[in-house]
Amino acid sequence: MYEYDFALSFAGEDRDKAEKLASMLKKEGATVFYDMDFQAELWGKDLYQTFQEIYGKKSKFFIPFVSKNYLANNWPKHELKQAQARDFKSDEEYILPLRLDDTSLPGLNETTGYVDLRIFSIETVARLCLEKLSGNLVGPMNPDISKEMRLYFWLKEHNPECLTALRARQQNIVIRVSTGKARELKGLLEGIDPNVCQGRDMHNMFMNGGFGPAGCFPSNDPEPHTTFNIVFLSDFFNQIPV
Q: Tell me: the pLDDT tens digits for 94-108?
A: 889 898 988 887 767
Give the Cα separation of 34 and 229 in Å (integer): 43
SS3 call for 162: helix
* Average pLDDT of the residues in 13-33: 91
Task: Check: CB of residue 114 under 8 Å from CB of residue 97.
Answer: yes
Amino acid sitting at position 166: L
Q: Are 112 and 97 spatial neighbours (Cβ–Cβ below 8 Å)?
A: yes
User: How would you classify the pairing of strands 172-178 and 197-201?
Assistant: unpaired
User: Are 65 and 26 spatial neighbours (Cβ–Cβ below 8 Å)?
Assistant: no
Distance CA 10, CA 108 (A): 16
Asked whether the beta carbons of 225 and 169 are under 8 A apart, the reply is: no
Share of the chain above pLDDT 70, in %: 85
Quickly state the pLDDT bin for 88 (edges 50, 70, 90): low
pLDDT at 201 over 70: yes
| Three-class DSSP category at 110 | coil
What is the structure's pLDDT at 137?
47
User: Are the C-beta atoms of residues 82 and 51 closer than 8 Å to each other?
Assistant: yes
Q: Which CATH number fits domain 4-134: 3.10.20.30, 3.40.50.10140, 3.30.1490.100, 1.10.10.10?
A: 3.40.50.10140
- The whole-angstrom separation of Cα 36 and Cα 45 is 15
Q: State pLDDT tens for residues 143-186.
A: 456 788 888 878 887 888 998 898 889 999 999 988 878 888 88
Of 229, 237, 137, residue with least CA distance to 188: 137
What's the pLDDT at 135?
64
CA distance 181 to 201: 12
Q: How do beta strands 32-33 and 4-9 pair?
A: parallel
Confidence of residue 231 (pLDDT cuts 50, 70, 90): very high
- What pLDDT is recorded for position 174? 92
CA distances to 5, 22, 71, 117, 172 from 35, rounded to whole Å, are: 14, 10, 18, 21, 46
DSSP 170: -
pLDDT band at 109 (very low <50, low <70, confident <90, very high): low
| Dihedral sign from CA coordinates of 51, 55, 59, 64 | positive
Which amino acid does the sequence have at 93? E
| Arithmetic mean of pLDDT, 205-223 | 69
pLDDT surpasses 50 at 83: yes
**Has residue 136 got a pLDDT over 60?**
no
Domain ranges of the chain: 4-134, 147-237
Q: What is the mean pLDDT of the chain?
A: 82
